[in-house]
Amino acid sequence: MITITKSALKRFKEVADSNDFIRIGVVGGGCAGLTYNIEIEERADEDDILIELEGVNICIDRNSSFMLSETTVNYIETMQQSGFRFDNPQAASSCGCGTSFSPKEDPSIDSSIPLAGGCSTGGCPSS
């Protein structure tokens, strides 16, 4: 499934209350077609995959779970930037800012998530 590093887990604990859910997902958009998404929500959806790590509630929708399979979520802080980073073996390519990707061709991946974006469309947060 998905791996959450200690630094990512620490950041989740800093920004969310103990009864909140951290939603990790994939949505259409960004330079490469799909964008990683992390949100704080008050509740999970009925069909979400639920993970509890050291008191942090994480939910992943079923469509995103296929594209996040074997992904590692990390949190980095440098002098230039801070934020979550995704190391995703399901990605065929990623954009330069690291927030979006295009998936490998895989029949097990749900193709109902629409691809969108491109830097020229404003889909990249760095553009």
Is 80 exceeded by the pLDDT of residue 94?
Answer: no
Q: Residue 54's pLDDT is what?
A: 95
DSSP three-state, residue 40: strand
Residue 21 located in a structural domain: yes
Specify if 22 maps to a domain: yes
Answer yes or no: are the C-beta atoms of 68 and 60 closer than 8 Å.
Answer: yes
Q: Is residue 123 part of a domain?
A: no
Residue 54, amino acid: E
- Does residue 12 sit within a domain? yes
| Residue of 28, 14, 24 lying closest to 44 (CA atoms) | 24
pLDDT of 119 above 50: no
Mean pLDDT for the chain overall: 81
Structurally, the chain folds into a number of domains equal to 1
Where residue 66 sits, what CATH number does that domain have?
2.60.300.12
Residue 70 confidence (pLDDT): 92
> Over the Cα atoms of the chain, what is R_g?
14
Write out pLDDT tens, residues 39-49.
999 999 999 99
Domain that holds residue 41: 3-117
